Amino acid sequence: MPIIEWLKTYAAKKGATPSQIALAWLLAKSDRIVPIPGTRSEAHLLENLGALNFQLTKTDDLHRIFFQLSIEIEKFYFLIYMGIQFHALLYYKPDKEVINIYKRIRQLEEINFDIKKEISKRGDLLIQQELEKLGYKEISNTELFEELFTKQDLSERLSHSAVKVEESFPQLKQNTKLIETLKKDLENFTIEIYQINQVSIDSNKIMIGEEGIAFNMDFELIKNKKTRERTSVIDFDKIYDKDILKITQTFSSLINIFKNND
């Protein structure tokens, strides 16, 4: 399915495997959810445990459009923040070409899988022959590991032999390049869907990645215009009428500006 290709791309950006992202997504859903992945392989077990290193939060794919303005009116300072916070979700267009491209990718991946199996089989045989030539016919895996760890020339020789085997299958490289091209073609069929809740959110909800509409205004008294010292402690009964009128006129002008730029 095309969603699998998107998951693979997303996982690659995060430096993870698709299964790790799937497990991390479940862990992020709720503290009450406990994923129980089944495996008989130690390698897969270690891979699954790696999901703990990835945290998916509400800020993933989060977008924000905001406007921030500071105004000084007489001896008062205003800081205004208006913003919309939303998520952009990627989907594939309902196009037959998406299915065709995906099928071609799957075919190429299956061919590559068979090629890699053959490379592994031939590589093991070639390395075994090389080891026998060097007098390592009856050596255990533990002893071989120690030899490879301490003798760099041996490690390089065996690595060179393994590379030669892979180079004898040029189709693998060609298929891999074609798969990457097809994946880029799939990107042309993606669309962004914007998701937003029409609710008011405060600064705390902005920080944790909640969706919604935010409007905040800080109102402070400028105690000293030279030092720019300000305070939020204001006695509103002592604000002069002329200052109130100036504030009202300034904000009315701002409202008209916004209206005229719709």
pLDDT at position 55 is 54
Single-letter code of the amino acid located at 65: I
- φ, ψ of residue 232 to 5 degrees: the values are -95, 0
SS3 of residue 142 by DSSP: helix
Take residue 254 and report the two structure tokens written for it.
């701002």
Structure confidence at residue 248 as a pLDDT band (50, 70, 90): very high
> Distance between CA atoms of 131 and 154, rounded to whole angstroms?
9
Q: Residue 138: is its pLDDT beyond 80?
A: no
DSSP label at residue 239: S
> Distance between CA atoms of 189 and 102, rounded to whole angstroms?
12
Cα angle 130, 135, 137; round to 5:
75
pLDDT digits (tens, 9 = 90+) for 37-92: 666 554 555 555 666 565 555 556 678 888 888 889 889 999 988 888 888 777 77
Cα angle 81, 195, 256; round to 5:
35
Which of 238, 193, 229 lies closest to 211 in space, CA to CA?
193
Average pLDDT over residues 231-247: 90
CB 248 within 8 A of CB 78: no
pLDDT digits (tens, 9 = 90+) for 173-223: 899 999 889 988 888 888 878 878 888 888 777 777 788 898 888 999 998
Structure confidence at residue 107 as a pLDDT band (50, 70, 90): very high
Helix %, strand %, coil % for the chain, to 5? Answer: 55, 20, 25
Stretch (H or E) spanning 108? helix 96-133
pLDDT at position 220 is 93
Residue 131 or residue 200, greater confidence: 200
pTM of the model: 0.46
Average pLDDT over all residues of the chain: 78
